[in-house]
Amino acid sequence: MEYKFLGRSGLKVSPLCLGTMNFGPYTGEADSHKIMDAALDAGINFFDTANVYGGEKGPGVTEGIIGNWLEKGGRREKIVLATKVYGKMGSGVNEHRLSAYHIKKACEESLTRLKTDHIDLYQMHHIDRNTPWEEIYQAMEQLVREGKVLYIGSSNFAAWNIAEAVHIARHRNFLGIISEQSIYSLRNRNIELEVIPACRALGVGLIPWSPLGGGILCGVLEKAKEGRRTREQLQASVEKLRPQIEAYEKLCKEAGHSPADVALAWVLNNEAVTSPIIGPRTIDQLKENIKALEIKLSVEVLKKLDEIWPGPGNQAPEAYAW
């Protein structure tokens, strides 16, 4: 497996990142542990979670499952562990967003659930427009000084948010964010306008989430019996996008690859991408996702994919102006 530097940092991560959102809501703890073991054995060293993950079982459940896996020993030093802060963790008025108060409290609670003394990549799960950067970075710098956090990342930031974060960090002599986690797939290519160019220019690694388009790109026309693909919202999207999906799945069949493998291979084909997040519910899904690393899409297939799932056509402003 060929490891990549995460942004402008010296940290190397696997070209696939194990997402854990299914752990707890859709995958039990024992099976979640088996998936993490299998991922590590396959060479995946980048694990991503968030403090709010847990679904109906409640925030923190997923981190707890990971913590119990880490507690078995011999694992922590082999992975790059990423989690996130921002989401609502309780009923208190200060139990969400990015105030210094919440960042410190949330970090301590994540460390407890994860049963570790440090988080490798601590990501802001969303931009907080009500908290000044001076306050956010003061809290993050303190966590770095204490050794509780090594690197800072962002998620769901606009391009100008990323530029602002990098610029302000430089003035504070702080490394600042080294990665951005954005939604990106054949189905949703909006970040090609500005986020991807910003990441390239500023040395920020790109970690795409939902590279399978929320289930649309993984052979969804074959009726799923369990998991998130059974959601009514997804089925409604399938009917809306049926002509595109049918053309896509036909192209994948002609290319000799599963729809999920093609979707991942397409994201991996973008040089700006560091490590797309996969979210397997089973070990079989994990093994299937890993196959995408061996797929090289032809120029002809890439062109047809653009026709089925057109993007903006260029970065801004060329995409909409001369």
User: Which one, of 308, 314, 230, 298, lies nearest residue 265 by Cα?
Assistant: 298
Q: Where are the alpha helices (DSSP H) in the chain?
A: 29-41, 61-70, 100-114, 133-145, 159-171, 195-202, 232-255, 259-268, 283-290, 299-308
Task: Name the catalytic one among 53, 86, 151, 248.
Answer: 53
- Please report where in the chains the tokens 């990106």 appear, as a residue: 184
Question: Half-sphere exposure of residue 180, counting CA atoms within 13 Å on the CB side?
Answer: 29
| Residue 109: C-alpha distances to residues 24, 33, 54, 94, 143 (Å) | 18, 21, 15, 14, 13
**Helix/strand/coil for 123:** strand
* Alpha-carbon span 101 to 116, nearest angstrom: 21
Please state, as a whole number, how many other Cβ atoms lie within 10 Å of the Cβ of residue 284: 10
Q: What is the largest CA-CA distance in the chain?
A: 58
Residue 137 catalytic? Answer: no
Report the DSSP beta bridge partners of residue 81: 47
Active site residues: 53
